[in-house]
Amino acid sequence: MAVLAIAPAEELPDISSELENTNRAPQRVIKHKGLIMISPQHPLSPADLTWRCYSCDLSQLSFSHQDVPCANIDDVLGGIGRGFRILEDHPIDDAYDPNAALLMNLGVLSGTMFMTGLRTYFHAYSPLKRSKAGLPSAMWTAGSGKFGTKLRFLGVEEVLFTGRAPHPVALHITRTGDEPATFNFIDARDLVGKRVNDKIQTLYQRFPEAHFAVLGPAGENYEKVRFASIALSTENQLKSGDPKPRFCGRGGIGGVMGSKNLLAIIADIKDRKAASGESFKKLNMEVARGDGSRRFRDKDTNNLGGTWANYVSFNSKHAMPEMNFTPTGTDVSVPLYRENVQKTGDFVIKDESCFRCGIKCHKNVYDVNEDGKAGQFRAKLDFEPLNLLASNLGLFDADRACTLVELVDEMGMDSISCGVTLGYAMEYNRRHQNDEKQLAGGLSYGDFEATRDAILAMGTGQLGELSQGTLRLSEQTGETDYAMQGKGLEYPAYLPQTNPGYPWALAGGHMSMRTFFILLNEQETDLDYWVDAITSPKKGLSIIRDDLLGTCKFSTMSSADMASAITEITGVEITEATLEQAVMRAFLRGYRLEKRQGFTQDDYVLPAQSHEEHPQIDLPYFNTQEFFSQLQERVTERFDSLLQEHGLTVS
């Protein structure tokens, strides 16, 4: 790789004397030097803090930076709260426009010693999510791994990318001592065409102290693939050589990165001591061993932990997607229960973890060697990709499921969007099996070989009718009633028949609107209950809290505990109420951006099939068109009123 350009950063101001004075609170804390634990006698205000924002013009292969004072609590927290505010200043009509903004940033706890504080965020106007007016919608996508921790060690909290490089490049970020970070732009044409793990391992050989954010073939073929992901390397992956990255998958933000000819970001620095707080040891013990994360841990669930366990919870009520979100009401998916996969004796399933995390939520599947030990790595199985690339496609064999899940990951595609779009195509073909209106060569439920070939073609841009996503495909066919998407974003593996909260999710139904378990766990069908569930920062909106902070949703810590951790790490007094208010503001900024991009009440809907009764679903039927119309009106009225209360005008 040849270095194309180097632009040295300015020197940072020396604040050591301010920090040494323990008789008063520091007047200025530079967070880009790595979060510094502070114990001031008096709480700091947001105005006492700054963050360093790098701006990267890929057209010129140049960068600059400025220290920005925090204007409010949202700036202190970072993550999506700050992300939406920045995207407000960069509206566009085309997600792939060279002038479109791609923002990479961290949350306040990213890269600290807080367990699960590993998240990196990418924000952009999505090429997949859009209004019926045709304009792209702002959203974010997040991933763990160790990449975010390396960014924190580099002192890089935020980078705003604009422009388009003249040819494929990788951004190499380094730092010497306490000097500012340096950005080098490296020729990456030799990486073109490589799959995700090959790219990461190739870069690892060249930069052994680094971690990486890379695109797969899908991101390189962004004009044909609207749901490209960004892969973040993990310690397990680099040490084992196995394809075990984490993914920023939702919304096709990998395509935005690809449209800028940016194939990889290399965060290259030796590990440093991460910032901590006095209570972190206690809090981390709760994350690793407390009740909140118990269901994700094998040791506490008889080796049945993780989201994979949702197969049993939902399928026992026949409320799990099969055949394009239409449950069969049979036991056809039972062989894919984790317990039954283990009983075959064909696989070893290991619980493995992200960097410094005690939850071990990864359920990595290996073939069994002759000695009974783990052999070749096959796939990391979570509920969503397993369901949507197996049961939802009429495939009920674990070996084939592993092949498809891993192939989608290696091509750098979002497994949710890919699986849902394939399911739609199969259902369309089933309905048109007696005529000539066939998609993807007549792709059908249960056809493993054809599905595998379709995934390969989609990932390389050779099956564009499918890799444009479910919304655009259904508009092309003229049959939208059974297209399982909302606002252009495919639904996760939870039935819309049971979840009328989907339309108000900003960035994916299970990542930004916590209503998908309500009917299963609480059997609630009351209209007032659902209005409150969708609009409350304590309920449906609560799930986006962690995307303000840089932490994983599986930590499931109370807002009081999270507030304490943030107070310790920043010196700014944060309370549970502070976080709830920040959650509401973040949602409302995202909601306002939707409206600015042409979203109207007609965009906040469910596909017509969602309102039909499915007798095989063993849960109350309540989500009728009449119920939803009343819900839609009241939720819209509530959110529009909150915009006014918070002074967030749409114009």
Ranking 74-83, 284-293, 510-519 by mean pLDDT, the lowest is 284-293
* pLDDT score at 24: 28
Tokens describing residue 80: 């999506």
Which residues are CB-neighbours of 19 under 8 A, at least 6 positions away? 26, 36, 38
109 pLDDT more than 50: yes
**What is the C-alpha separation between 151 and 120, in angstroms, rounded?**
9
Tokens describing residue 369: 């060697």
* pLDDT score at 480: 98
92 pLDDT more than 50: yes
7 pLDDT more than 50: no
Residue from 602, 450, 496, 624 nearest 133 by CA: 602
SS3 157: coil
* pLDDT score at 642: 98
Q: Strands, E, within 98-157: which ranges?
A: 102-106, 120-130, 136-143
**308 vs 18, more confident:** 308
Q: Directed axis angle between helix 470-477 and helix 415-431, to 10°?
A: 20
Contact 106, 152 (CB under 8 A): yes
Residue from 181, 227, 551, 189 nearest 388 by CA: 227
297 pLDDT more than 90: no
Q: How far lies 76's CA from each of 80, 138, 403, 477, in Å? A: 11, 21, 43, 47
40 pLDDT more than 60: no
384 within domain boundaries: no
- Mean pLDDT for the chain? 91
Confidence of residue 593 (pLDDT cuts 50, 70, 90): very high
**What is the C-alpha separation between 229 and 247, in angstroms, rounded?**
7
Question: What 8-state DSSP symbol labels residue 640?
Answer: H
107 within domain boundaries: yes
Q: How many CA atoms lie within 13 A of 342 on its CB side?
A: 15
87 within domain boundaries: yes
What mean pLDDT do residues 97-119 have? 95
Confidence of residue 3 (pLDDT cuts 50, 70, 90): very low
What mean pLDDT do residues 223-238 have? 97
* pLDDT score at 572: 95
418 pLDDT more than 50: yes
Tokens describing residue 17: 């004397």
Contact 393, 423 (CB under 8 A): yes
Question: What 8-state DSSP symbol labels residue 213?
Answer: E
**What is the C-alpha separation between 261 and 266, in angstroms, rounded?**
15
* pLDDT score at 57: 97
599 within domain boundaries: no
**442 vs 301, more confident:** 442
251 within domain boundaries: yes
Burial 162-193 (b: 16+ CB within 10 A, else e): bbbbeebbbbbbbbeeeebbbbbbbebeebee
403 pLDDT more than 50: yes
Contact 622, 530 (CB under 8 A): no
CATH of the domain at 13: 3.60.9.10
Furthest-apart CA atoms within the chain: distance in Å: 82
Contact 441, 198 (CB under 8 A): no
Are β-strands 362-368 and 374-380 bridged in parallel, bridged antiparallel, or unpaired? antiparallel
495 within domain boundaries: no
CA 59, distance to chain mean position in Å, is 27
* pLDDT score at 242: 96
Confidence of residue 295 (pLDDT cuts 50, 70, 90): confident
98 pLDDT more than 90: yes
Tokens describing residue 168: 């494929």
389 pLDDT more than 70: yes
Domain range enclosing 148: 3-268
Q: Alpha-carbon dihedral of residues 198, 203, 209, 210, nearest 10 degrees?
A: -90
Residue from 619, 631, 427 nearest 523 by CA: 619
Contact 102, 122 (CB under 8 A): yes
pLDDT tens, residue by residue, 485-495: 999 999 999 99
37 pLDDT more than 60: no
Q: How far lies 151's CA from each of 121, 212, 272, in Å? A: 12, 10, 11
**What is the C-alpha separation between 44 and 134, in angstroms, rounded?**
44
* pLDDT score at 298: 67
230 within domain boundaries: yes
**308 vs 191, more confident:** 191
* pLDDT score at 173: 98
What mean pLDDT do residues 104-109 have? 97
Question: What 8-state DSSP symbol labels residue 10?
Answer: P
627 within domain boundaries: no
**How many domains is the chain built from?**
1
* pLDDT score at 549: 95
Confidence of residue 36 (pLDDT cuts 50, 70, 90): very low
